[in-house]
Structure 1
């Protein structure tokens, strides 16, 4: 059971109503995470603005590969379910690729490097090694793109932390267990 209170639909603060309407239109319903965030319109706005801005820095498959790798590393069941659900609707993102992303890899070698790097960012708390940077650069990523990868990983950390603190009730299909890389 979620540990933080979400406002009832009638009690959603004015500053959050429009945002929730947009979320509902996008998903066909308002996921519990967003309903909970609506209790603080400023926080909801920060999360939505950050997600919207970051949707322009890397392609969707790369962003969701990062989200799956980071959410697995953080043990965020809600975010794993959400990103698995969204990723499964992306063209060219198979269930095998989703499972690999969660394990810090990918069918695509370039996205595999991103998944490994994102997990290293999380596991090392940003103290990645020169070899980690060389690997992601070797996969073809530029320094501006590496900044985008780190920023997307941190945005995912934000929602992971919110959902882990809340123990958000899962209102989307749950993600199956996948082992993390060793």
Structure 2
């Protein structure tokens, strides 16, 4: 059960309702995370704004791969479910590629390097090794792209932390744990 207050739709401002409507149009429903964030309209605006801004860095499958790798490494059940749903339904990723991303890999060698690097960012708290940087550069990523990778990873961590603190009720189709038959 979620631990933070989720306001009723009628208890939030029209501006906040508009943000929730836009989120709902994208997903087909308003995910519990966004409904909870509506209790603090500034935080809702920051999270949605950050996600919108970061949709312009890297390609969608790379961003999804990062979010899946980070969410799995950070053991955020809600975000794993959400990013698996979005990656499959909106991002065109196969179930195999979603499972690989959660495990820090990909069917695509470049995205596999990004997934490994993103997990290293999380596990090392940003103190990646020279070898980690060399590996992601060796996959063809430039320093500006590495900055984007780190920023997308941190955005995923932000929502991981919010959902882990809240223990947000998963209202998104659940996924099987990585490495188990589905």
The TM-score, its normalising length taken from structure 2, stands at 0.96
Query: What is the count of residue pairs matched by the alignment?
Result: 179
| Post-superposition CA distance 1:146-178 (Å, at most 9, x none) | 000000000000000000000000101112101
Of residues 130-139 and 89-98 in structure 1, the stretch that sits farther from structure 2 once superposed is 89-98
**Is the Cα–Cα contact under 8 Å of residues 13 and 39 in structure 1 kept in the other structure?**
no
Paired residues for 1:1-182 under 5 Å: 1-90=1-90, 92-179=92-179
Superposition deviation, residue 66 in structure 1: 0.1
| Post-superposition CA distance 1:1-53 (Å, at most 9, x none) | 00001101111234411100101111111000000000000000000000000
Distance of 1:155 and 1:142 partners within structure 2: 20
| Post-superposition CA distance 1:45-74 (Å, at most 9, x none) | 000000000000111100000000000000
Q: 1:73 to 1:91 in 2, by over 3 A?
A: closer
Superposition deviation, residue 140 in structure 1: 0.3
SS in 2 for 1:88: helix
**Is the Cα–Cα contact under 8 Å of residues 7 and 38 in structure 1 kept in the other structure?**
yes
Distance of 1:9 and 1:78 partners within structure 2: 21
- Runs (5+) with no aligned partner, structure 1: none
Of residues 18-27 and 130-139 in structure 1, the stretch that sits farther from structure 2 once superposed is 18-27
- Runs (5+) with no aligned partner, structure 2: none
Question: RMSD of the TM alignment (CA)?
Answer: 1.0
Distance of 2:136 and 2:123 partners within structure 1: 16
**Is the Cα–Cα contact under 8 Å of residues 105 and 116 in structure 1 kept in the other structure?**
yes
Runs ≥4 residues deviating over 4 A: none
Distance of 1:173 and 1:105 partners within structure 2: 22
